[in-house]
Amino acid sequence: MTDLLGSGLLSVAAFVAVISFVVVIHELGHYLAGRYFGVHAEVFSIGFGPTLASWHDRKGTLWRIAGLPLGGYVRFLGDADAVSARDQATLERLKAARADADKVFHFKPVWQRAIIVLAGPVANFLLAIILFAAVGMARGEATIEPLIGEITAESPAEAAGFQSGDLLLTIDGQRARTFTDLSQAVMTRAGQPMRFTVERDGAELTLHATPRREMRADGLGGTRAFGFLGVGLSSEAQIIQRRFGPVEALGHGVTQTGRVLVTIVDYLARLVTFQASLEHINGPLGIATTAGQVANIAVADPGAGEGSSYDLSVALMRLATNLVLLAGLLSVAIGLMNLLPIPVLDGGHLVYYAYEAVAKHPPSPSVQSLGLKAGLALILGLMVVATWNDLNYLAGLFS
């Protein structure tokens, strides 16, 4: 039913749906916090580019649906653009006339502005919790005992002394809950020494291994560079399938969101200390590719047994679950990325507000302008790296 990337139409639709939903929720966080503090939102745009449909609400906000449905933005009174740069001419006019000054974002106390800015990433984290909780209720979670099976010959695991039957206890001091924890921990640590604690014959042993870089299948039809340790899952490992009630599911959502956050923060920390590779950074093209892959895999493999007829309802359920999980992961990533202290991002605004709170005045316009240019340059550089990685991955798909 699908080729390597599957139906192009389904791929595009999946990407647009996921990225638009996550970004719009982010902007809604800003909007609702601003509205709570009396800030007037001039425009709330779903998408970019030419307007397809628009209307004004009773507060005077223009809501618009644009032709390029890739995210969106909210523009408050006094903003010059979608990244909340100050519109100096408008601000000076409003300040002189004292008209609607209480509705201007930039005239609000610094703590209110900080909350409004922080509300976007918080909305993303809350969304992720809800999405992971929903999947926990619908599908549950499989806990796979971290019991080591086959050891690959001449692998880092063999050199470190791993043996079949070892029960993995900790990874770099962190408790190993499931076998998945091992694969996730090793994934981005090629060339990095790691410490493992295992239980063998009732005794605890500490093993040291350095995963090596290998191009391996990613489960989505392509290959990526992963850290390779060389251990397999034991056929005797216990697998516990658990479903969650509403309250438990909420806790599960919080836990899953926290795990994703820790994973991303750990990678970023190792990245800035030159202990991790840039090849794991992906951009919009990579997100679009992944969205299409998970969507088409769900539709192409509905889970029916061999010889069984195609079950559309099962396929649609798998599709919805896969996209919800992807949206949850992406929501955590977008929320966290926006908290980075880069001037063009929410985190950069928070740095400025922290300075203002201490110095009792905002940074000078020249400093803010310089910071904006530096932030844009950094973001552009990261986008170049991400796009290069995405194109290399696509080249591998079609080779």
State the CB neighbour count (10 A cutoff) for residue 247. Answer: 9
The average pLDDT across 120-132 equals: 96
Measured CA to CA in angstroms, residue 233 lies from 146, 182, 347 at distances of 7, 10, 41
Annotated catalytic residues are 27
Please state, in angstroms and rounded to a whole number, the distance separating the CA atoms of residues 214 and 337: 28
- Three-state DSSP class for residue 175: strand
pLDDT (0 to 100) of residue 310: 61
Measured CA to CA in angstroms, residue 169 lies from 91, 184, 211, 230 at distances of 59, 15, 18, 17
Please state, in angstroms and rounded to a whole number, the distance separating the CA atoms of residues 195 and 168: 11
Tell me the two tokens of residue 298.
């769900």
Closest CA to 345 of 82, 61, 93: 82
Confidence of residue 72 (pLDDT cuts 50, 70, 90): confident
Locus of tokens 């408008």: 90
Report the Cα 300 to chain-centroid distance in Å.
25
pLDDT per residue over 253-276, tens digit each? Answer: 999 999 999 989 988 888 888 888
In 3-state terms the chain splits into helix, strand, coil percentages (rounded to 5) of: 50, 20, 25
Locus of tokens 């479903």: 243
Least confident of 36-45, 103-112, 116-125: 103-112
State the CB neighbour count (10 A cutoff) for residue 229. Answer: 27
Residue 2 has pLDDT above 50, yes or no: no
Please state, in angstroms and rounded to a whole number, the distance separating the CA atoms of residues 19 and 337: 14
* Element of type H or E holding 98: none
Locus of tokens 């909007």: 31
Mean pLDDT, the chain, whole residue set: 86
Confidence of residue 152 (pLDDT cuts 50, 70, 90): very high
Closest CA to 208 of 146, 284, 157, 243: 157
Confidence of residue 55 (pLDDT cuts 50, 70, 90): very high
Tell me the two tokens of residue 192.
């990095």
What does 308-346 look like in DSSP terms, one character per residue?
A: PPP-HHHHHHHHHHHHHHHHHHHHHHHHHHTTSS-TTSH
State the CB neighbour count (10 A cutoff) for residue 192. Answer: 15
pLDDT above 70 as % of the chain: 89
